[in-house]
């Protein structure tokens, strides 16, 4: 879990913290919706596809 995600979040109970962790895992870190890859790898793959799809013509 990203430490940046935890900064600024204060939980009153353990149950509140568990719910927040569950939400993070299911929504932000759901590998199923990203083709079973991590968010970082999905992002990098997407950027590669974009770069490969852009062709620059030399003048």
Q: How far apart are CA 57 and CA 15, in angstroms?
A: 57
Inter-residue contact 18 to 29 (CB < 8 Å): no
pLDDT in tens, 4-59: 666 677 888 889 888 888 877 776 666 666 677 777 887 788 778 777 777 666 66
Q: How far apart are CA 56 and CA 32, in angstroms?
A: 34
pLDDT in tens, 37-51: 777 887 788 778 777
State yes or no: pLDDT of 2 exceeds 60. Answer: no
Report the pLDDT value the prediction gives residue 57, as an integer from 0 to 100. 62
Q: What is the DSSP string of 27-40?
A: IIS-TGGGTSS-HH
Count CB atoms within 10 A of the CB of residue 6: 14
- Name the residue ranges covered by the structural domains of the chain: 3-53
Q: How far apart are CA 6 and CA 54, in angstroms?
A: 37
Report the pLDDT value the prediction gives residue 21, as an integer from 0 to 100. 82
């Amino acid at each position: 879990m990203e430490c940046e995600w935890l900064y600024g979040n204060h939980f009153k109970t353990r149950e509140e913290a568990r719910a927040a962790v569950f939400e993070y895992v299911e929504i932000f870190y759901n590998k199923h919706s990203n083709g079973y890859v991590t968010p970082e790898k999905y992002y990098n793959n997407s950027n590669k596809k974009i770069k490969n799809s852009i062709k620059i013509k030399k003048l």
